[in-house]
């Protein structure tokens, strides 16, 4: 493991430790939800809302579970038996649910990821798992894109990685400009994908290609 990856893992670790040290109790979290319900204009003591703070706290544990999972979770296994295979591996249509860090409302979409393996590949489910780890945090789509590409680049040391994310942001659909159906697309490329526009074109056309 090289220095960059080590420092990446260290910073993930210290982020987790820092947030663990400051982590409020479940009672405090539930009290905060009651405050927000009252702020919205409802009565947190009415029957239908009595258990809501408890449910919200529990939902948060799942929706933000990415803070308690580091990329090391997916580092443990790569496969060396890839024969002469040296073309791109594309995993497309990885669905994700995330929350924008500006409004804490969902943005949902799909991630499409490709890489050129060098000697080793990673299980395809691990690629989807990386997306989940970073999506289940407060995010911007741009940061999500760059975190995914950085960790794949560092883990697999491939000849190149391409990440394309398309998502709809509820903060745009439900509030503010209220534009439904608008999707935001972000891309990032490393290695041969960055250096060779032809490979970007191949990646894009594979995303549009045969669908079963």
Give residues in contact with Zn ion (CB under 5 A): 100, 102-103, 171
Task: Please identify every residue annotated as catalytic.
Answer: 100-103, 141, 169, 171
112 is in an annotated binding site: no
| Helix ranges, the chain (H) | 3-22, 26-40, 52-63, 124-135, 141-156, 170-173, 191-195, 197-208
Q: Which is nearer to Zn ion, 108 or 171 (CB)?
A: 171
Q: Could you identify the residue written with the tokens 């000697």?
A: 119
100 is in an annotated binding site: yes
CB-based closest residue to Zn ion = 171
Taking a C-beta distance cutoff of 8 angstroms, is the pair 138, 104 a contact? yes
CB of 182 to Zn ion, least distance (A): 13
CB of 173 to Zn ion, least distance (A): 10
103 is in an annotated binding site: yes
CB of 104 to Zn ion, least distance (A): 8
Which phi and psi (to 5°) does residue 119 adopt? 65, -35
138: β partners? 99
Compute, in degrees rounded to 10, the torsion defined by CA atoms 127, 130, 132, 135: -130
Q: Which residues contact 72 (CB under 8 A, 6 or more apart)?
A: 9, 12
Taking a C-beta distance cutoff of 8 angstroms, is the pair 71, 130 a contact? yes
CB of 178 to Zn ion, least distance (A): 13
């Amino acid at each position: 493991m090289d220095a960059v990856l080590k420092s990446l893992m260290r910073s993930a670790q210290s982020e987790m430790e820092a947030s663990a040290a400051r982590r409020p109790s479940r009672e405090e979290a539930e009290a905060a939800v009651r405050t927000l319900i009252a702020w919205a204009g409802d009565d947190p003591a009415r029957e239908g809302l009595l258990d809501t703070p408890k449910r919200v706290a529990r939902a948060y544990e799942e929706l933000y579970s990415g803070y308690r999972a580091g990329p090391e979770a997916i580092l443990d296994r790569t496969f060396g038996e890839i024969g002469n295979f040296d073309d791109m591996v594309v995993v497309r249509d990885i669905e994700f649910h995330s929350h924008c860090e500006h409004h804490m409302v969902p943005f949902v979409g799909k991630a499409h990821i490709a890489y050129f393996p060098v000697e080793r590949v990673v299980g395809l489910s691990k690629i989807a798992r990386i997306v989940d780890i970073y999506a289940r945090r407060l995010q911007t789509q741009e940061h999500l894109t760059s975190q995914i590409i950085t960790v794949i680049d560092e883990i697999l040391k491939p000849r190149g990685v391409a990440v394309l994310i398309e998502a709809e942001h509820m903060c745009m659909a439900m509030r503010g400009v209220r534009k439904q159906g608008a999707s935001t697309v972000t891309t990032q490329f490393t290695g041969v994908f960055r250096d060779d526009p032809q490979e970007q074109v191949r990646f894009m056309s594979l995303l549009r290609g045969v669908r079963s």
